[in-house]
Structure 1
Amino acid sequence: GRPGIARADQDYIAAMVVNHILGGGSFTSRLFQEVREKRGLTYSVYSSLTTAECSPSLIGATSTKNERAGESLSVIEAECARLAAEGPTAEELDKAKKFLTGSYALRFDTSTKIAGHLLHLQREGFDAGYLDRRNAEVEAVTMEDAKRVAKRLIGDASLLVAIVGRPEGLVANGAA
């Protein structure tokens, strides 16, 4: 993980789009494509934004065999660095915005989800009008916004990593 962007920050919506492109849970994300599809290193890999008031963050996770841990982490770091340096492609940006706007309605398909999401929005300080504005805000994210926010969110692509198991091919604190 690494520091994120606060929910009240004007760049949050663009960060949400950038995160979706990086590893936001769909089969089109860069991490899914590079770590799982192309290399078969894991079954699951993702990233997400947390909006904790004191410490918003960009977090991610994966699991792999001990002997593939170093390679998995290298691929993840490389994709983070590439997105920060180059930004998304036009196709990635378009797909992310379509997914994020099209899937938003799924947060309201049961009474429990409706109540939970409305409570979440209230806790985050949003008025009822946000429900009408949200998708337009996602659609308004430009390529320039995405590139700028990718650099801001991912920075130099250095990650704080916690590893469980007996991974091979990794160096911790300068020792093998």
Structure 2
Amino acid sequence: FMAADVVNHILGGGGLSSRLFKEVREKRGLAYSIHEALLWMDHSALFIGKTGTRADRACETVDAVEKEIRRIAEEGPTQQELDEAKSYLKGSQMLALDTSSKLAQALLQYQLDKLPIDYIEKRNAIVDAVTLDDTRRVAKKLWGDGLLTVIVGRAPQAAAQPPAATPKSN
């Protein structure tokens, strides 16, 4: 569970420091923002992401995302990426719980995830215990098959035009 959260942070959940942000926005200039999340369910996980790009660059953007997903599945993260992700995840924990509503929401999620009552106190040690081998194994398991479903929206002008009229038959 935690190894997946760490490697997910490295791939795209880490905002400005993520591989997807660096590759898709900074290096290629394909999108203003890109983000993804790993959602846990009882018997599986769902990886969802979003980005905004020009219609004429949609294929290039999807290709860049797919390439990064394949790369992390095949190679896993580097030790530096792992160290930085662990440091961020540990340091940001208390900021994520800085209001009563955030704390209540987190406690509810911990309960839904069937985590122990002392999870908040143990979380940093759980993050620290994640190894490079753990993240490489999990990355291969999560993204070894690449993207399974990709949805791309229509160009704005196509969405604004009414559908073509169907000729009437006599």
TM-score greater than 0.5 by the shorter chain: yes
Partners of 1:158 and 1:39 lie apart in 2 by: 20
User: Equivalent of 1:139, from 106, 114, 128?
Assistant: 128
Partners of 1:78 and 1:54 lie apart in 2 by: 27
User: Equivalent of 2:14, from 25, 31, 35?
Assistant: 25
Instruction: Considering fraction of residues, name the structure with more helix.
Output: 2
User: Equivalent of 1:118, from 107, 113, 136?
Assistant: 107
User: Equivalent of 1:85, from 70, 74, 77?
Assistant: 74
Partners of 1:137 and 1:31 lie apart in 2 by: 25
Pairwise CA RMSD of aligned residues?
1.5
Partners of 2:50 and 2:20 lie apart in 1 by: 10
Contact 1:20 1:96 in 2 (8 A): yes
Compare 152-161 and 13-22 and name the one that shifted more. Answer: 152-161
Number of aligned positions between the proteins: 156
Gaps of 5+ in 2: 157-170
Q: Which residue identity does 2:85 align to in structure 1?
A: A
Q: Which residue identity does 2:4 align to in structure 1?
A: A
User: Normalising by the residue count of structure 2, what TM-score does the alignment of the two structures yield?
Assistant: 0.87
Q: Which residue of 2 aligns with 1:76?
A: 65
Q: Which residue of 2 aligns with 1:165?
A: 154
Gaps of 5+ in 1: 1-11, 168-176
Shift of 1:54: 5.6
Shift of 1:55: 4.7
Q: Which residue of 2 aligns with 1:5?
A: none
Q: Which residue of 2 aligns with 1:57?
A: 46
User: Equivalent of 2:116, from 120, 124, 127?
Assistant: 127
Contact 1:77 1:159 in 2 (8 A): no
Q: Percent identity?
A: 50
Compare 46-55 and 90-99 and name the one that shifted more. Answer: 46-55
Partners of 1:121 and 1:133 lie apart in 2 by: 12
Which has the higher Rg, Structure 1 or Structure 2? 2
Q: Structure 1, residues 76-100: CA drift from partner, whole Å, max 9, x if none? A: 0000001111111111111111111
Shift of 1:134: 1.1
